[in-house]
Amino acid sequence: MPELPEVETVRRGLEKLIKGYTITAAHDLHPRALKPESIAPLKTINGAKFVDIKRRGKFLWFVLDRPQVLVAHLGMSGQFLIHQKDRPTAKHVRAKFDLSRNLRKRELVFNDQRTFGWVSVEEVSNGIPTSAQHIATDPFDPQFDRSETINKFAKRNIRIKTALLNQEIMSGVGNIYADETLWRAKVHPEISTADLSKKKIAEVIDYATEVMQEAIEKGGTSFDDLYIDVNGESGFFEQSLAAYGRTDEPCPRCGTPIRRITFGARSSHFCPRCQRKIN
pLDDT of 224 > 70? The answer is: no
Q: Which residue has the higher pLDDT, 181 or 103?
A: 181
For the chain, the domains span 4-131, 146-270
Geometric angle at alpha carbon 36, from 31 and 38, rounded to 5°? 115
pLDDT in tens, 144-168: 999 999 999 999 999 999 999 999 9
Residue ranges of E strands in 45-176: 50-56, 59-64, 69-73, 78-82, 93-101, 104-112, 118-122, 124-125, 128-129
Read off φ and ψ for residue 64, nearest 5 degrees: -110, 165
pLDDT grade for 174, boundaries at 50, 70 and 90: very high
pLDDT in tens, 175-222: 999 999 999 999 999 999 999 999 999 999 999 999 999 999 999 987
CA 128 to each of CA 59, 124, 147, 185, 186: distance values in angstroms, whole numbers, following the listed order: 10, 5, 22, 32, 35
pLDDT grade for 279, boundaries at 50, 70 and 90: low
In the residue annotation, 266 being an active-site residue is answered as: yes
> Which one of 3, 6, 122, 180 is the catalytic residue?
3
CATH pick for 4-131 out of 3.20.190.10, 3.40.50.970, 3.40.720.10, 3.40.30.10: 3.20.190.10
Q: Which residues contact 126 (CB under 8 A, 6 or more apart)?
A: none
> Which one of 11, 58, 94, 161 is the catalytic residue?
58
pLDDT grade for 230, boundaries at 50, 70 and 90: confident
> Which one of 2, 5, 129, 189 is the catalytic residue?
2
In the residue annotation, 180 being an active-site residue is answered as: no
> Which one of 35, 106, 266, 273 is the catalytic residue?
266
Type of residue found at 264 = G
Give the mean pLDDT of the chain: 94
pLDDT of 80 > 60? The answer is: yes
In the residue annotation, 58 being an active-site residue is answered as: yes
Q: Please state which CATH class domain 146-270 belongs to.
A: mainly alpha
pLDDT of 223 > 80? The answer is: no
Q: Find the mean pLDDT for residues 37-62.
A: 98
